[in-house]
Each structure stands twice: as C-alpha cells, then as structure tokens.
Structure 1
Amino acid sequence: MYTPRAFAVDDLQALDALFARDAFVTLLTTGADGAPLASQLPVLYRRDGDRLHVEGHWARPNPQASHDGPALMIVHGPHAYVSPGWYPDKIEAARVPTWNYATAHLRGRLECFDDEAALADLVARTSDVFEARIGGDWRFEPDDDSQRRQLRGIVGFRFHVDVIEIKHKLSQNHPAANRSAVADALSGGDTNAREIAAMMRAIAS
C-alpha cells in the first residue's frame, strides 16, 4: 500500500477500531494459474499485544478454499470525497479533488482447516458475535444434525499476520485552516463523511 509518512499509523488501537467498525474484509490471494482471487468475508478478530488473531471461513466451492499460503487482507474504514472548493487556499495553491479515508492492509499466511469440531467452534463464535450486534438470538447448535451437516459446505481459515500497514489519509499534509474547513464540510455529509470528519477533528485536538 502506498503510504506517505504523513498518513502512516503505527498504533494498533487504530486497527482495533477498524475491525470493530467493519469486520467484513477483502481477502486477496493468487490462484494456481497466477491470476488474482478475491473474496469478501466476515472475520473474527482479536489482539493480544502485538499478536493478531484473525479467523474466518469460505464456502467450500470457493477457489480460495484450498489456499494455504500468502495472502493480503484489506480492512475497510470510512472514506469520503474532498472537494477542492472547500479549501481556503484553493486558488493560490491550485488545489484539486481528493479522497480521505482510513484502511489497513495485513499481509501474512493462511492456514486452512476443515475438521468438524474446529468448524463448529468457529461458526458458533461467529454467529454469537454478529447476532449480538443486531440484537438477534440465533445460535449454532452443534447437537442439531441438520446444522452440523452444513459444516461440510465450508472451509475455515486462520490468518497469520506478518506485516501490518495502517493508513489514515485525513488531510494531514494540508494547513490547519484547510483541515478545519474540510472537517466542517464533511460533518454535513453521509455517515462515511461524518466519520472522517470526526477522525480529522480527533487528530487535530
């Protein structure tokens, strides 16, 4: 990921926040023929100090489901268009449009598994997390034969992370007046824009 120094973040709490906001990631691998493969997947994430634990699963027919090896995981954060018309110095500095955003790229290695006990545990924990977020009460029941049989249709993975890159592009390379004006403009926008405005104000305080 191209990350100028002004936008690089080394605080892993920023990664925690991205996963807490949106644990639906993009997972990229390379197929046997060298062609890129991508999947959008919900994952479970936790961190012990500098050690990350990321788990998820594919549908068994997914071409990635046989991939033990290198992978790139993109964690998506908020993003918003920035108009050059918002900058106080737009004319003298010949400002142009841009985009502010937060994201993380994790590089590492996938480890696949398909034993029933491990898959049952993964599905149970995954459903517990995401049901709780919507106030739902569905639970995976390992003693229910009809539910347990469906485990045959998935393959689980553990993602062992080697490299963490976190990027917050929040107009840090602009004068304070520009940053303030952009945050003010974004605060009246959609949910993504308001999140970016709040992040900009947080680093300015």
Structure 2
Amino acid sequence: MYTPRAFAETDLAHLDALVAADPFVTLVTTGADGAPFASHLPVLYRRDGGHVLVEGHWAKPNPQAQHSGPALMIVHGPHAYVSPSWYPDKEAAARVPTWNYAVAHLSGTLHPFADEDALADLVSRLSDRFEASVGQAWRFEPGRDDHRRQLRGIVGFRFEPAHVELKFKLNQNHPVANRVAVAQALSGSDAADARAVAALMRERLD
C-alpha cells in the first residue's frame, strides 16, 4: 500500500494492538483466472519476536479454501474523518479534508489444513477466545459427535506473514498545534473509532 515515511510504523507491538482490538480481518488471494478474491474472517493471532502466526478457517464451499500460497491479510484499525475547520492554520495553509486511520497489511503464505484433530483444536480455541469477549461460556466439545460432525464443513488455515506493513496516518505531517486540535475534536465524538484515533494521535504527541 502507499505509505509515506511519516505514516510508517515498524514496531510490531502496534500490530498486536490492532489485532487485539479488531481480530476480524480481510484475506485477499488471487484466483486461477487472475481475479482477486476476498474473505472476511475472525482469526487467532500470536507473535514470538518477529514471527507472526495467524489462524482461522473458511466454510468448505468458500472457493478460497482451495487456495494454498501467497495471500494478503488486512488488519483494520480505527478510522475517522478529519475536518479542515479543526486546524488552527486552516486559512493560512488552505487546509482540506482528510481521513485519519491505522491499518496493517500482512503478506505471506497460506497453509490450509483439513485434519480433524487440528480443526477441533482450532475451533476450541476460537470459541474460547470469542465467547470470553462477550462474557459467555459456550464451548466446542470435540467428544460430542454432533459437534465433531460440524468440522466436516470447514477448512482451517495457518498464515505466516513474511512482510508486515503498518500505516498509522495521524496527521504526523502537520504542525503539532494541528495534531493537538484534531485529537481534541475527535476525542469528543460519539463514535468509538474517532475516539480511538484521538488516543493514537495523543500517544504520538506524548
């Protein structure tokens, strides 16, 4: 993606935070006909130093479940519209509207799998992770035949990115006074994304 130097991040802790906040990703592959294909999926993520592993699954009828090889995974962060009226120098610098956001692009190799025991382990960990996020306790029970039969309808994947690109576009190319003013305006918004963008901006001002 287009990433001016002012907006580039290299610390993978920022990727950790993005996935923790929103583990619902966009996975893009290219089909045999050369056309791009995208799926939107919840994932499990872990990192050990510079090594990242992302796991998830498709419904078996999803054409992407047949794909093994290069892929692009997009991790979506918060985003918000920025009005030029918030800039102290709006008239002198003839400021225009923009959009502030954080996003990560992970490029790497997809490894699909259909082993039943591996799928049971994956689904168990997914359900534990996301049930806890809503304060519930439903669990996948691999010992139950009716639960285990559901595994026939999915294909799992492991994704190990070889390249991670982080873009945090947060007015870093503006004077500090503009950045402070925008963060203040966004922090007063009713939209959670806008407040999250304001928090990211303030982190970079501290």
Match of 1:142 in 2: 142
Match of 1:197 in 2: 198
Q: Distance in 2 between matches of 1:143 and 1:21?
A: 32
Percent identical among aligned pairs is 71
Mapped pair 1:115 → 2:115? yes
Match of 2:13 in 1: 13
How far has the Cα of 1:8 moved from its partner?
0.4
Match of 2:72 in 1: 72
Amino acid corresponding to residue 202 of structure 2 in structure 1: R
Q: Distance in 1 between matches of 2:111 and 2:119?
A: 13
Q: Distance in 2 between matches of 1:29 and 1:117?
A: 26
Secondary structure of the 2:100 match is strand
Q: Distance in 2 between matches of 1:111 and 1:184?
A: 44
How far has the Cα of 1:188 moved from its partner?
1.0
How far has the Cα of 1:148 moved from its partner?
0.4
Q: Distance in 2 between matches of 1:125 and 1:31?
A: 30
Deviations 1:36-73 (A, max 9, x none): 10000000000001100110000000010000011000
Question: Please, which runs of 5 or more residues in structure 2 have no aligned partner?
Answer: none
Match of 1:46 in 2: 46
Amino acid corresponding to residue 199 of structure 2 in structure 1: A
Q: Distance in 1 between matches of 2:50 and 2:109?
A: 17
Q: Aligned Cα RMSD in Å?
A: 0.5
Q: Distance in 1 between matches of 2:140 and 2:179?
A: 47
Q: Distance in 2 between matches of 1:179 and 1:78?
A: 17
Residues 51-62 of structure 1 aligned to structure 2 (within 5 Å)? 51-62=51-62
Deviations 1:143-189 (A, max 9, x none): 11011001000000000210000111010000011001101110111
Deviations 1:91-137 (A, max 9, x none): 11111100000010000010000010000000000100111111111
Secondary structure of the 2:173 match is coil
Amino acid corresponding to residue 146 of structure 1 in structure 2: D
Residues 30-45 of structure 1 aligned to structure 2 (within 5 Å)? 30-45=30-45
Match of 2:160 in 1: 160
Mapped pair 1:126 → 2:126? yes
How far has the Cα of 1:32 moved from its partner?
1.2
Secondary structure of the 1:88 match is coil
Match of 1:103 in 2: 103
Q: Distance in 2 between matches of 1:202 and 1:162?
A: 28
Q: Could you list the runs of 4 or more consecutive aligned residues of structure 1 that deviate by over 3 angstroms after TM superposition? A: none
Secondary structure of the 1:3 match is coil
Question: What TM-score do the two structures reach when normalised by structure 1?
Answer: 0.99
Q: Distance in 2 between matches of 1:160 and 1:187?
A: 35
Q: Distance in 2 between matches of 1:53 and 1:37?
A: 21
